[in-house]
A = this chain, B = another copy of it.
Amino acid sequence: MTSKINEKNVVLGLVQMTCEVDPKNNLEKAVLKIREAAKAGAQIISLQELFRSQYFCQENNDQYFSLAEAIPGQTTEILGNVAKECGVVIVASLFEKTSDHQYFNTACVVDADGKFLGKYRKIHIPDDLPNYYSELYYFKPGDMGFPVFETKFAKIGVQVCWDQWYPEGSRSLALQGAEIIFYPTAIGWPDTQRDQEIGSSEFDAWTTIQRSHAIANGVFVAVTNRTGKENHLSFWGGSFVADPLGRVLKKSSHDQEEILIVECNLEKIPEVRQDWPFLKCRRPDTYRNH
């Protein structure tokens, strides 16, 4: 790497929290933590996947459809007000219900002036009831591609939870100019019999695959995971930010609520890509779209 000459810093705030049953309380807590993160200097703040509720996909129960809401709608309006008040960008994951009664696992981005910038509907939906991620019962697979959002502080993209295992999504966002990719997520250890070594390997694989998206694409990655025990899952926390060489800049504990404040120098992106010009040498002519 050449020595650092330029700096274009943006400060990220990752809100890792527990959730309770009442969505109202979770929203109130998230708003308080957004204000706290902003006070600590954060400019782009990411909440975890489906932060308004507990992670209900551990069972198939039609009462949970009542948690869904319009996007933009009531929650994005509240978040827009906080964004404007604090002058911060907010990345939020919500359960979306459309006017024609379709349901999606959707992330939205609100800009620092409070404006709703747009949404991304989770593309890869796990269907894994024995392991407690039964999302196809609730969510239609995303139908809006991989949008990139030009926020006040950086060009960003979002991938939601299970998306994080797929290089295709992160690649698409980077090719469209994303500088930071956010991964709001809700992943944890099931209470079935698994030894500690397997549990630790799974957590390590999860960290590794997301660091690899940073490396392959020369971007920053920012992962906000849930913590706490809900029903069968102990969410493993471990929120982190990695730089374009895949180096973890800061990470959270497994079991505590934390706000991770991480400064990222966006000039690292062209610097790393100059040394390792992976995007330049791609061969899309040879990639069959399997």
What residues make up the interface of A, taking CB atoms closer than 8 Å to B?
1, 123-128, 131, 141-142, 145-146, 162, 165-168, 171-172, 175, 194, 198, 201-202, 204-205, 208-209, 211-212, 215-216, 245-247, 275-278, 281-284, 286-290
17 contacts between A and B (CB under 8 A): A123-B286, A124-B282, A124-B283, A131-B275, A142-B286, A146-B286, A165-B216, A165-B276, A166-B278, A168-B171, A201-B247, A204-B246, A205-B215, A205-B245, A208-B215, A209-B215, A287-B289
Residues in B with CB closer than 8 Å to A208 are: 208, 211-212, 215, 246
Is B282 in contact with A128, judged by CB distance below 8 angstroms? no
Q: Are B287 and A172 in contact (CB under 8 A)?
A: yes
Chain B residues near A202 (CB-CB < 8 A): 245
CB <8 Å contact, B162 and A281: yes
CA distance A198 to B128 in the complex (A): 40
Known: A1-B198, A168-B282. 5 other contacts (CB 8 A): A167-B168, A168-B171, A168-B287, A172-B290, A212-B215
For the complex, give the distance between the alpha carbons of A212 and B142 in Å.
24
Q: Of residues A162, A171, A287, which shows the largest number of chain B Cβ atoms within 10 Å of its Cβ?
A: A287
In the complex, are the beta carbons of A246 and B205 less than 8 A apart?
Answer: yes
Docked pose: A166 CA to B215 CA in angstroms: 10
Contact status of A165 and B246, CB under 8 A, knowing A1-B194, A209-B216: no
Docked Cα-Cα span, A289 to B283, in Å, equals: 10
**Pair B141/A283 contact, Cβ less than 8 Å:** yes
A123 to chain B, nearest CB (A): 5
- Most chain B CB inside 10 Å of its own CB: which residue of A171, A175, A209, A211: A209
CA distance A34 to B247 in the complex (A): 36
Residues of B within 8 A of A276 (CB): 165
Q: Are A290 and B128 in contact (CB under 8 A)?
A: no
The 10 A-B pairs of least Cβ separation, nearest first, read A212-B212, A167-B167, A175-B290, A289-B289, A205-B246, A205-B215, A168-B287, A165-B278, A209-B215, A1-B198
